[in-house]
Amino acid sequence: MKSNKKTIGRHFFNLIFVSLFIFLLSSILIILIVRNYYSYEKSRVDAIAITSKMDKLQVLQAEFLLNADKDIKLFLKGETNYLEIYQKEYQDITESLSVFSSRYLKKSDTLAEEIILDLTKNKDIFQGVIYAYKQIGNIDFGLISDWIETGDKLENQIINIQNEKLILEFSKIRILENKFLVHGQTSIMEDISDQLNNLQYSLSNINSDDFSSIELNENIYLYTNIGQQLTDLYNKLGRNTIDGDLAALELSDSKLLEASDNLLAVVENQKISRRNFAAIGLIIVFVIICFLVIGYFRSVRTVFVEPVKFLLKYISNISLGIIDDKIELNKSTIEYDTIADSINILSEGLQEKNLFTQKLVEDDVNAELKVNEEDQLGINLLKLKDKINITLKEHVEYSKENEIRRYINEGIAKFSEIINNNSNNIQQLTDVFIRELVKYTESVQGGLYLINEDQNNTLELKAAFAYNRKKYITKSIMFGEGLVGTCAIEKKIIKIEDVPPEYIIITSGLGDAPPNHLLLVPMLEDEQVLGVLEIASLKAFTDFQLNLVQQVANSMASSIKISQNNTKTSELLEKTQRQAAVMQEQEEEMRQNMEELQATQEDSTRREDEMAITIDAVNSVAHVMEYDLEGKIIKANQKFLKLLGKNQEEIKGKKHSDLTTSGSFEKFESSVLKKLKSGSDVSIIEEFKIKNKKIFLKEYFTIIKEKSGRESRIFNLATDITENIQN
């Protein structure tokens, strides 16, 4: 019988063979581990070198932003050492990244290409910032230098005019100029624009013979234009906002910093991979040894080691944010199956929460997620969803309210400017006003009715505009007649949603549909109807449009009232002067011939009665004050005393300058008394401060002479224009 036993030599030979095999396998594995470790260390050093160079780029940017206004080379040649160094470092980094990608990264890994793209974008933004700073300049170069120089020219021109008010207004502008150069805020430039508008308004009220208005206006325009360019550059840079090139540069730097971290993370992941490789190699050697030593370890490897490796890989993927399909273990124990089931439940929950989060990112505010009481992550996600819904709703409401406020504020400003620019010509004012109102409210037709001053119960169509054209229509409407007359007599807004076709008398020659929405708004001033606005539209009028139309209608009424009062005052003043001259001639005739005076006494009495009626009319609509030839007050009418809050005894004997804000008698003497004594009438605008309230009066000064030609007193006829100036 053949024996299955082996000799001792055979067993010894097998042992030596197996030992040599294990030694050879272990040596190869150690060599691979050492090689992988050396490769990891080299990649880590290269990655740190690249990130250090990227950090240097950000340091260069910070140094440039800190010293930009001192870089003379930038302003003279348009070049800077910072950009040259930056470009060299950029070229070095891109080359290093290309080498790093080819040596250590997989072909499918695009991290190096993404970093190069981010670097290129960062370089472009940085170049744009440098160009913007070159344009802005400093006090010696660029727009800032031009702006300051233009401001100095303007200041010298205004000082030469020798007007204290203009000098004070421009000094405010120079203060705002310094604040803008320090802070660069758009709101400060808007304040400068408002001050320049006030300056131009003040200049318009000064005799242009004293200075070159063309050159001054050109400098004001140049000063405004340069300031706007600076504002645009500051807005482009985003010095005081979260937008602009500086914010984009900061965001790009953040992305580069994140890319640096990702690059280092890739190296660390390779370290983990190589560590896993070494561990797997050791496990394989251990398994081979165990397989050769005892066959039992084969089943142990199948049942224990492989499931552990599979679960470890799956959990590692979950920690990296990778959610795979369900775990299925073919050979395992009950305990490992239980662990796999728990991991599957965790994976399904994470997938549901991931899908829920994606829907929230896509603004799906109706996304749903089922959670239990112990699922803290799910509960917090639902709270986040509720908070996002509230935030979105508040944002929509705020945007809508902000748009309405902007619409109303811009409209009020627009029509206030129209009223101010055309207040001297009522026909031009009404034409421009109704045209722009129709356009601004997106209507198709509009008409403006004013009360006939001769027939107070009659409204006349002063201006009409339809289908982008002015219409020449003559129309009169009695109070209470039709919708316009009803609106005037009731002093209330009328809004009609379904206008009968026969009501609209103006039609489009292009075949456009007739309007079916009508709005009538009374023009009120102190509850007195001065006119009616009528506009028709294809769309329904919103509440904020109605609010805007009501406000501009009242502003228009105030302007018309002031214009009418000024006209009446001028007419009464002319009539008073004519009658005064007639009376002086009559007095001269009376002294020459007493008998003729007695014969005409009855006629003279009648004329004096008419004069008294005229003076009473003037006193009822205007503020009247009389002075002696030295500028001291003799008396004032009740309307002027009521405005000043004083009686006759308090003002009698005082100088006119004691009542005004400026308080300068020399200014009053130079601007009024000298011109009056030279034979010229004087019209000025002065500011009175009464009980901490500023009042602006337009005053007309003239000298009253006796019949002998001797000057007897100074006559002042004033009109309150406070509301017109404040608007």
State whether the Cα torsion 140-142-144-150 is positive or negative: positive
* Cα–Cα distance for residue pair 178/227, rounded to 1 Å: 12
For 632, list phi and psi in degrees, rounded to 5: -90, 145
Rounded to an integer, the average pLDDT of 370-393 is 76
Looking at 59-73, 363-377, 511-525, 579-593, which range is the least confident one?
579-593
Q: Which residues pair with 698 in a beta bridge?
A: 685, 719
130-178 residue pLDDT tens: 888 888 878 788 888 888 888 888 888 888 887 788 888 888 888 888 8
Q: Which residues pair with 627 in a beta bridge?
A: 633, 714
Q: Which helix (H) or strand (E) holds 280?
A: helix 245-293
507 CB-side CA count, 13 A: 8
546-605 residue pLDDT tens: 888 888 888 888 888 887 777 777 777 888 788 767 777 766 665 665 555 454 556 656
Rounded percentage of the chain residues whose pLDDT exceeds 90: 2
Interior/surface letters 393-404, b for 16+ CB within 10 angstroms, e for the rest: eeeeeeeeeeeb
Of the two residues 705 and 621, the one the predictor is more confident about is 705
pLDDT at residue number 13: 59
For the record, the structure tokens of 199 come out as: 């300056």
pTM, two decimal places: 0.36
pLDDT at residue number 533: 92
For 624, list phi and psi in degrees, rounded to 5: -120, 135
Supply the mean pLDDT for the chain.
77
pLDDT at residue number 2: 40
Rounded to an integer, the average pLDDT of 80-106 is 82
Rounded to an integer, the average pLDDT of 383-400 is 78
Q: Which residues 6+ apart lie within 8 Å of 713 measured at CB?
A: 626, 627, 628, 629, 634, 703, 704
420-456 residue pLDDT tens: 888 788 888 888 898 999 999 888 889 999 988 777 7
For the record, the structure tokens of 386 come out as: 């509720």
- Cα distances from 723 to residues 9, 243, 352, 416, 696, in angstroms, run 124, 40, 66, 12, 9
Of the two residues 212 and 263, the one the predictor is more confident about is 263
pLDDT at residue number 301: 60
pLDDT at residue number 3: 40
DSSP for 416-483, please give it: HHHHHHTTT-HHHHHHHHHHHHHHHTT-SEEEEEEE-SSSTTEEEEEEEEETTEEE----EEETTSHH
**Residue 467 above 60 pLDDT?**
yes
* Cα–Cα distance for residue pair 262/68, rounded to 1 Å: 32
pLDDT at residue number 535: 92
pLDDT at residue number 510: 38
**Residue 190 above 60 pLDDT?**
yes
* Cα–Cα distance for residue pair 310/336, rounded to 1 Å: 11
Looking at 89-98, 253-262, 361-370, 403-412, which range is the least confident one?
361-370
pLDDT at residue number 259: 81
